[in-house]
Structure formats: C-alpha cells, structure tokens
Structure 1
C-alpha cells in the first residue's frame, strides 16, 4: 500500500546500548543508588536504563506499573551492569514520595535524583481548567521539591556527601509559547528550585537542570496531536513550523540523547555543573532569523 505524500508519522526510536554514554566514575557502582521519576516511558525510561547501564542501582518510580515493567525489560535487553528496581509511585501523594526516597535509601547509598516525570495540557489561559493547572504543578514542581526535601539528608549522610539532584526542565523553562501556561510555569519554577538546591548543597551535593528541545517521546507525540487540533493546522505543520521552525537543527532529540546528559551531569566530569542548566536545544533558544 502506498503512503500518501502528505502523510506524517513519528515513532519513538528503539533504545540500544550503542545509544548510551558510558562514563568511568568511582561512584558509578551498584552500591550507589539513583532515583528516576517518570521511569515508565520516554526520557525517564531512557535515563533509568542509561544509569543502570553505568552500574548504578536505579529506583525507577512512576504511577504506570505496566510501563515500569517495560523499563525493566528494556534494561535486560540492553544488558545493563546495574539494576532497575520498579517502584509504583503517585507523585501527587507526599507519603508516596517520602516512601520512594526511603526505599531508595534502603537499597544502598542514595546519591542521585533525576526528577523527570512530566505532563502536558494544551489550552489558552482563559479556558485552562484550574484542576489541570494544579495537577501539572503538583507533578512537575511540588513533587521535585518534596523529593529533594526527603533525599538531601540521605545524600549528605553518605561517606563523602557527593551526589546530585537533577530536574528535567525544558526550553519552556527559558521562554514561553502560547497554550502551555501550567507547563511553562512549572519549568520556570524548576529552574529556581534547582538553584535553591545548589545554594544549600555545600558544593558536594549539586543541583542542576536539563533543558532539551523537542524530544521524540509519547508525551511529545500526544502534544503534536493536541497542538494541531488547538491551532487548526496539520501535525506536519506543528513539527516543522511550530516546534522546529525556530531551531537551527531540524531533528528532534531522542530520549537516549537526553538520558546521556543526566549520566554526564551526575558523573565526576560534571562536578562544576551546579545551579546551572544543560541547554540542549539545537540553537532554539538563543538564535533567531
């Protein structure tokens, strides 16, 4: 069957070991534990696998239990040296967040946190449902704060106090576009939270954020559909004109490429990355025509 010339389809790439960054680091071993939220899909899944591939014990947290099992299966297929331990977690429940951190601390020396879980809702501000606004802020801003609150004492209690808390920000943590008020507010807030963590980290406990451009994830593919409907344009136009129109690079990032930034940032090679943002956006933010 021939595909129509105007047909448009995006699929999330399959992750393999060849996609991953491997780093030599004395703390990248099974005794060191990393929490990864949003680990059931997309960037969170790729990051959980990437960190486990570097020898860490990873507690992968998500509300999607079936998705977490898929992450465990992917780690096995990649052949990781570490372990991914799935932990069903409701990030809107402070008790669940605290239990997540305690479970991680019981698994070894908790040194790393990657707060990646995210959501999106497309709507202009006058029609934006307040309950959706609250939900997105709970998952993407309050939960990272509560995770840091509970995790920081454990990281400080390790032998040398070395560790890092990383927050998944976005180009939308740098500027705003229309119809994404809650997402943009959360990501801007995460930049502030990251700096606050760094300010209190005393140098050995670092805070940093990762800001990617558009990444081929299930969340992004849903967003393409929603944006096309909201603006009355085709999905191809959303990708080529709205999402990548301003970028110098014309390819979306893959989840593995973003996961590698967390690996680098957590490693000894990222020791001067503190309170700052790894902006990986293909020139989207700081160039224009």
Structure 2
C-alpha cells in the first residue's frame, strides 16, 4: 500500500453531499450556533445546517475562514444563512456574545461544539500551556457554551433543542502522544451525558465520534506524528491512521456534518446522552 492511494486534499463540498431533512424546527426562525466554523468539520456543519434552512451563527477566531464559509453556503444555494461571529473561545466575553447573537437571530435551539486543536507530545514532554489551551478550547468552552445556551433553548415555545459535541474515537480509547486531546474528549463525553441528564427529554445532548477526517487539522498532524514517533509520514497514514480501521477510507468533513444534521433533527429524538460512533470499525474491532 502506498501513500499515493490516499488523497490528502480536503474534498470540495457540494450541495449533493449534504443531508437535507424535513423537520418542523428546520427553518429561518431557528438558530444554530457552530464553533470552529471557519474550516473543516465546523465549516461543513455550518453549511449543512444552512442547507436545511436554519439561521447559523458561525463562530471562529479565523475571520477570513468565516467569510469563506459564508461564500460556500451561498455557492451551494443554501436556503438558510450563515452569520459570521469572530470568536475567541478562550475569552468568556466572546463566548457570551456568540450565544447572544444566536439568540438575537431567532429561536436558539441547536449548538454544535466542533472547534478543536491538537498537539503531539508524550505526557512527560507535554507543555502545560498547550494542555491548558486544548482543554480551554475543547472542554471549558463547550461547557460555558452549554451553560449560556440552555436557558435560551428552554425558553422556546416547546423547549426542544440539542447540543451536539464533536468527540472522537479518542473519546473512547487512548493512543500515544495525544494526552490533552484524549483528556478533553473523554471529558466532553461526560458533559454530553450531563446535558442529557438535565435536559428533561426535550433538550438533548449527544456527541459525534469519528476516526480520521480529511481536514486541515488532520493533514497537519501527519508530519508532527511522524516526527514524534520516529516513523515515516507514509507509516503514519497507513499504520497509525488507517491501520486499525476496517473501512480503509478517511471520512470527509461533510459526512461528519451530516451526522450533526441527523442528530439535531426529529429523527434523532431518542439520541440523548449517546454517541454517534461513525469510525469505520476503529473501536469495535481491536486486534
């Protein structure tokens, strides 16, 4: 198997790739907040929700990327709109503004906590400032976002809504040299269940766990992982990323975004505290 078999370029998103569902709450009067909306899974999720007619608040620190997301929604003729809100998730004031803008745009019912980052190092070599940053973005910020969004969701006419958290196969097990990421994702699973426990059935919490996805974050990891483990980039792709999977193909951001669409929709009403594990066999076929 050679690396030439893998196209490590993020695929272009087209309207045909998007899951579009009929749902009484999917319309311009309903708002969804999506973090990490400037690229990768977050960008695809923002566009997918706009394709379902929702008013989307796309939040990210990358303002140029947010404008690309707005353009992409327009290019796919999405009936909904994407409102870019530059947001530093480590700044509580920015997070508060993000949620307030969402509430101002309509009935805030949905939140997709997608924003994430990665740093490759062993526990003994892991810089604490990087640990703090990863946990702030991937665990503290989703907690604060949920804390601020829940009252608005409960204040809608029927209290129906959902908070979806971007987890990972690393929310289910651990591998080497990603200790902060793994800690954050395991914590996010706990937050998901806590939301479900307090949501009284109508306000749901769920998570989405996938393996490796063709995103800029994943592509940037290959070189770092190769250096940390002392192996080639080819070995990272073939052995580390796809070695344990039974489906020998990386997911696309749009395929992950469609899971959020399904989870938010009426079809996901029994998905509460649970996890959409779409991992190609990573966690269930261990050798």
Task: Report TM bin, short chain.
Answer: over 0.9
Counting only pairs closer than 5 Å after superposition, residues 79-94 of structure 1 correspond to structure 2 as 79-94=77-92
Question: Residue 61 of structure 1: SS of its match in structure 2?
Answer: strand
- Specify the alignment match of 2:20 in structure 1: 22
Whole-angstrom distance in 2 between the partners of 1:11 and 1:50 = 20
Whole-angstrom distance in 2 between the partners of 1:129 and 1:144 = 22
Gaps of 5+ in 1: none
Whole-angstrom distance in 1 between the partners of 2:21 and 2:163 = 18
Counting only pairs closer than 5 Å after superposition, residues 1-289 of structure 1 correspond to structure 2 as 10-289=8-287
Whole-angstrom distance in 1 between the partners of 2:47 and 2:244 = 31
Q: Which moved more, 1:6-15 or 1:161-170?
A: 6-15
Q: What TM-score, normalized to structure 2?
A: 0.98
User: For residues 6 and 274 of structure 1, do their structure 2 counterparts lie closer, same or farther at Cα, with a shift above 3 Å needed?
Assistant: closer
Q: Deviations over 1:166-186 (max 9, x none)?
A: 100000000000000000000
Shift of 1:213: 0.8
Counterpart contact for 2:209–2:279, Cα < 8 Å:
yes
Counterpart contact for 2:3–2:237, Cα < 8 Å:
no
Q: What TM-score, normalized to structure 1?
A: 0.97
Gaps of 5+ in 2: none
Whole-angstrom distance in 1 between the partners of 2:223 and 2:73 = 30
Name the count of aligned residue pairs.
285
Whole-angstrom distance in 1 between the partners of 2:7 and 2:157 = 50
Q: Deviations over 1:193-227 (max 9, x none)?
A: 00000000000000000001110000000111110
Question: Residue 112 of structure 1: SS of its match in structure 2?
Answer: strand
Whole-angstrom distance in 1 between the partners of 2:49 and 2:21 = 10
Q: Give the ranges of 4+ consecutive aligned residues of structure 1 lying more than 3 Å apart after TM superposition.
A: 5-9
Q: Deviations over 1:70-128 (max 9, x none)?
A: 10111111110000000000000111111110110000000000000000000011110
Shift of 1:237: 1.0
